[in-house]
Amino acid sequence: MMVDLLSRKVLSLCAQQNRELVRKTLAMGNYRVSFISALSEVTSAIAEFKPSVLVHDWQAVDESQTRKFHLNFSRTSTATELIRVLIVPDVTPNILAFANDALIDRVYSYGSASLNLGNELDMVTVSQDQSEVARLVRESRAEGYKYDQKKLDAKIDELYQKFPHDNKVKLEFGNLTFRQQKYTEALVLASDLVAREPHNLRAMNLMARAMMKQGQWDKALETLEGAQILSPSNPERLVLIGDACYGKGDLDKALQCYEEAADLDPDMAPAAHRQMGQIKLEMGEVEEALGLFKNSVSEDEAAGFFNNAAVAAVRDGKPEQALKLYETAMRALKTNRLKPLIHFNIALSHRRLGDHEAAAKHLKKALQIDPNYEKAKAQLDQLGRQEPLKKTS
């Protein structure tokens, strides 16, 4: 039988002492292997050789680099085009947990790989090609996924009706129920998966997220920290751990987790800085919060955080603090869309402090931007007649 070598290419990052092992066993399976020597070469080598499989030897590079690479790579569209295989000295529970965390397809020990790696790749390739479930799971994790969310959700629901006992499908369906705000159902599905697969870290993440939605902060934190022990330095999970700490009121630990996540992966920095900004705002560190929001959220969202904090300060009888927050909200804005509202709220704070001149100034600014702002007109009219301040929302 003719073997199409073009469709049976393998890219391999191996320690020098293991290259011959990989070469021989893949040659027996009629695979053509191209070796590289560094993680930095992976992307360009994939573009050049267009392999269908990436074989990574655990001993090829530093363990921390390996973990970081695969966790980041799992979120790329390129990852959906490859079958990823890890060969390790021993297949341990921690290695299996990491493979699950990083969406690595198979893990083999050196002994097993030396005997039948080529045959194993044949079986993995066939199962991936034939499995509608595997294709959906792989593609749905890629950036630029070809289906929109509504179509994806419909497909997941359809697959769950067909394959309710498939653990991969059950996990995707659990994530779907979470998106639908069915948190109890999501928790039940995730808990069942963790009971069946104690090292299914993605199910543990889902379980913790559902717990947090139900206010079970301590249980969520315990679950996430257990997952992080099995597969350390996952920046996405560090953000979740930060969320759990934030929820239970441990702000210092939450900040530490968010900072570590941002340092580990720049792509996680916006999510981490958003949460850090909210904590800094709660701590009264307004300038620090503004700096964190600038590069992590839209100007509308940043202004909204300060505006909401100011409203809460007004309710607590702290108009001076509210005024500072409103003014910071104004500094976060580059467009005019929300400026009338903020000017209006600043005017109310000045009026509560008895500074009617400053209040009138900001009401007029609001009306300059939006001449049809009826609330501002009414307040300016009241101010002119020196009527008592009315409550406004």
> Given this model, what pLDDT does residue 277 score?
95
Structure tokens at 382: 């009241």
List, for the chain, all residue ranges whose pLDDT scores fall below the cut of 70.
1-7, 126-148, 386-393
Q: How far is CA 286 from CA 180, 251, 346, 391, in A?
A: 34, 16, 16, 26
For 6-130, the fitting CATH number among 3.40.50.2300, 3.90.1150.10, 3.30.70.1230, 3.40.50.1220 is 3.40.50.2300
CATH topology of domain 149-335: 1.25.40
d(CA 204, CA 97) in angstroms, rounded, equals 11
* Sequence ranges of the domains in the chain: 6-130, 149-335
What are the residue ranges of helices labelled H in the chain?
19-28, 42-49, 63-73, 93-101, 110-130, 132-140, 149-162, 167-179, 183-196, 201-213, 217-230, 235-248, 251-264, 269-282, 286-294, 299-315, 319-332, 339-352, 356-369, 374-384
- Single pTM value for the model: 0.81
> Given this model, what pLDDT does residue 126 score?
67
Structure tokens at 370: 């939006």
d(CA 123, CA 80) in angstroms, rounded, equals 18
> Given this model, what pLDDT does residue 217 score?
97
Q: How far is CA 219 from CA 227, 254, 305, 329, in A?
A: 12, 16, 28, 36
Render 222-289 in DSSP notation, one character per residue: HHHHHHHHHS---HHHHHHHHHHHHHHT-HHHHHHHHHHHHHH-GGGHHHHHHHHHHHHHHTT-HHHH
- Dihedral class, residue 30 (left if φ above 0, else alpha if ψ from -120 to 50, else beta): left
Please, what is the Cα angle at 100 between 97 and 105, to 5 degrees?
A: 125
> Given this model, what pLDDT does residue 158 score?
87
> Given this model, what pLDDT does residue 319 score?
85
> Given this model, what pLDDT does residue 3 score?
36
- Dihedral class, residue 380 (left if φ above 0, else alpha if ψ from -120 to 50, else beta): alpha
> Given this model, what pLDDT does residue 215 score?
96
- How many CB atoms lie under 10 A from the CB of residue 79? 21
In degrees and rounded to multiples of 5, residue 301 shows phi and psi of -70, -40
